[in-house]
Amino acid sequence: MSAIPAENTNKVFPELQDIETAERPPIQRRVRQRLTSRGATAAAVIIAVIWTIPTFGLFVSSFRPEDNIKGNGWWNVFTDWQFTLANYEDVLAPGGSQSPNLGSYFVNSLAIVIPGTIFTLVIGAMAAYMFAWGRFRGKDGLFIFVFALQIVPLQMALIPLLQLFTQVLKIGDLQLFPSGTYAQLWVAHTIFGLPLAIFLLHNFIAEIPGEVIEAARVDGAGHSTIFWRIIIPLATPALASFGIFQFLWLWNDLLVALVFSGGGADVAPITQRLAELQGSRGGEWQRLTAGAFVSILIPLAVFFGLQRYFVRGLLAGGLKG
């Protein structure tokens, strides 16, 4: 939504990635600092504990037998050591509409998120390239307009977009983007991701040295050659950062899914199923705890595995939501 001031980002990234190399005060000062900041350290530890305990409690609970989860608090595991994988088997196994069936919804999430991310990246990069290197009248005005579209809240687009899908975009009785398939979700996610994608990728692509592009042009390369052979490879770091961001955002989305998915096991993502389970079976903690962990597995893996890109994307692009 908003960018961090540029003068900070440049200086900040290297230090963020390897804190070890950050400058350190001389030894005696370090000692003094450590003594005076004992209170600060204690406060930091308290914050860290408060921030971690809720997730930890849920994680421990998801491995406890049903009766234990419902019978007493998860902190009792320290005295009553009982663990099981039954909850995970229960939520993942395919079954009738009564069972959580999260395996299916997990696949749906992947099927929604992967194309949704790729479409946004490709279409966004193409437009970003033209905004950065094309020469045409009204370029700046158009770019500012696209940038400004970020302020339109998702909520404003939902009702008319749904009407478009169901009533306008069809040939005869055949909907171009049929209800109850992934198609509507892909299109909706791509549209909502584009303003930020174009803006961020433009900023990066515009920084590519002009000589590289000029040289290719002199050699007779057209825009399509330059785009695929030069721009895309050089912009990979930016594409990766934004791609991860878009991936997580789509994975965690609930609102767009609620409006466009129809809600069945054929299409709906895991977040939607989890929200349903909370509503209809609010007390089935053995299912909710395991289900919640299945749903946050991928984001956590992405987060811990690609934290560096994630942080970079965050610093460059701010939040979306």
Partner 1 sequence: MEDIAEKGLQVVVALAIFAAIIGVIMLIVDRAPKSAREKVQIAGFLTPALILLAVGLVYPALQTTYLSFTNAAGEFIGLDNFVWMFTQPEALITLRNTVIWVVLVPLLASSIGLAYAVFIDKARGEKALKALVFMPMAISFVGAGVIWRFVYAYKGAEADQIGLVNQILVWFGQTPKQFLLDAPENTFFLIAVMIWIQTGFAMVVLSAAIKGIPTEIIEAARLDGASAWQQFRNVTIPTIRGSLIVVVTTITIGTLKVFDIVRTMTAGQYETSVVANEMYTQAFRAGEPGRGAALALVLFLMVLPVVVYNARLLRQQKEIR
Residue among 61, 12, 27, 37 nearest 290 (CA) = 61
Residue among 190, 198, 191 nearest 124 (CA) = 198
- The secondary structure of the chain in percent helix, strand, coil, rounded to multiples of 5, reads 75, 0, 25
- Asked if 95 interacts with partner 1 (CB under 8 A), we say no
Selected range binding partner 1 among 85-93, 130-138, 206-214, 232-240, rule: CB under 8 A: 130-138
- Asked if 38 interacts with partner 1 (CB under 8 A), we say no
- Asked if 54 interacts with partner 1 (CB under 8 A), we say yes
- Asked if 268 interacts with partner 1 (CB under 8 A), we say no
Q: Please, what is the minimum distance in Å from the beta carbon of residue 81 to partner 1? A: 17
Tokens 């389970």 identify what position? 277
Q: Considering only residues 142-171, where is the footprint of partner 1 by CB under 8 A?
A: 146, 149-161, 163-164
Q: How far apart are CA 241 and CA 191, in angstroms?
A: 19
Number of residues that bind partner 1 (CB under 8 A): 130
Among 84, 179, 203, 278, interactor with partner 1 by CB under 8 A: 278
Work out the number of other CB atoms within 10 angstroms of the CB of residue 116: 26
Please, which residues have CB within 8 angstroms of residue 178's CB and are 6 or more apart in sequence? 184
- Asked if 83 interacts with partner 1 (CB under 8 A), we say no
- Asked if 60 interacts with partner 1 (CB under 8 A), we say no
Q: Is 9 exposed, middle or buried (0-12, 13-18, 19+ CB in 10 A)?
A: middle
Q: Considering only residues 167-196, where is the footprint of partner 1 by CB under 8 A?
A: 181-183, 186-188, 190-192, 194-195
- Asked if 86 interacts with partner 1 (CB under 8 A), we say no
CB-CB contact of 127 with 198 (8 Å): yes
Q: Please, what is the minimum distance in Å from the beta carbon of residue 239 to partner 1? A: 15
Tokens of 129: 């390239």
Among 67, 73, 95, 236, interactor with partner 1 by CB under 8 A: 73
Q: How far apart are CA 228 and CA 267, in angstroms?
A: 33
Among 178, 262, 263, 299, interactor with partner 1 by CB under 8 A: 299
Selected range binding partner 1 among 84-92, 202-210, 235-243, 287-295, rule: CB under 8 A: 287-295
Q: Considering only residues 5-34, where is the footprint of partner 1 by CB under 8 A?
A: 5-9, 11-13, 15-16, 19, 22-24, 29
- Asked if 207 interacts with partner 1 (CB under 8 A), we say no
Q: How far apart are CA 286 and CA 283, in angstroms?
A: 9
Selected range binding partner 1 among 52-60, 84-92, 207-215, 232-240, rule: CB under 8 A: 52-60
Residue among 129, 318, 108 nearest 227 (CA) = 129
Cα angle 269-160-127, degrees, rounded to a multiple of 5: 75
Q: Please, what is the minimum distance in Å from the beta carbon of residue 79 to partner 1? A: 13
Radius of gyration of the chain from its Cα atoms, rounded to whole angstroms: 24
Q: Please, what is the minimum distance in Å from the beta carbon of residue 133 to partner 1? A: 10
